[in-house]
Amino acid sequence: MTRPTRVEVNCTTGETSIIELTDAEIAEIEVAALAAADQQAAAEAEAAAVAAAKAAGQAKLAALGLTAEEIAALSK
């Protein structure tokens, strides 16, 4: 299996090097990927909670007799 690589451009010589990652660098990337997955899951959960709270609030306002236009006006 091909090892992942990184690119380094030497701005003085103009030389571009494609360097295979070390085991430690690969492990670091895997840790970062897991952290990114956690971050993404947290963001999605937060967005879902906000959407659910909004829907619940609108339902309660409707139950009180407000029209859809009045509910929309309150959220502006």
Partner 1 sequence: MANTYELIEAQTLSTSASSVTFSSIPQTYTDIRIFISARGTGPYTNTNLKMQVGNGTVSTSGYSEKMVYTSNGTTAASYGQSAQAQSDLQYFPLATSTANTFSNNDIYIPNYTGSTAKSFSIDSASEYNAPAAVLAMDAGLSSNTSAINIITFTPNAGNFAQYSTFYLYGIKNS
Shortest distance, CB of residue 63 to partner 1, whole angstroms?
Answer: 27
What is d(CA 14, CA 67) in angstroms, rounded to the nearest whole number? 67
Tell me which stretch binds partner 1 (CB under 8 A): 31-39, 54-62, 68-76.
31-39
Indicate the residue among 69 and 75 with the shorter CB distance to partner 1.
Answer: 75
Here the tokens at position 3 are 């090892």
What is d(CA 31, CA 25) in angstroms, rounded to the nearest whole number? 10
* Residue 48 is a binding residue for partner 1 (CB under 8 A): no
3-state DSSP call for residue 70?
helix
Shortest distance, CB of residue 65 to partner 1, whole angstroms?
Answer: 28
Indicate the residue among 32 and 68 with the shorter CB distance to partner 1.
Answer: 32
Q: For the beta carbon of residue 26, count every other beta carbon within 10 angstroms.
A: 13
Residue with structure tokens 């502006």?
A: 76
* Residue 5 is a binding residue for partner 1 (CB under 8 A): yes
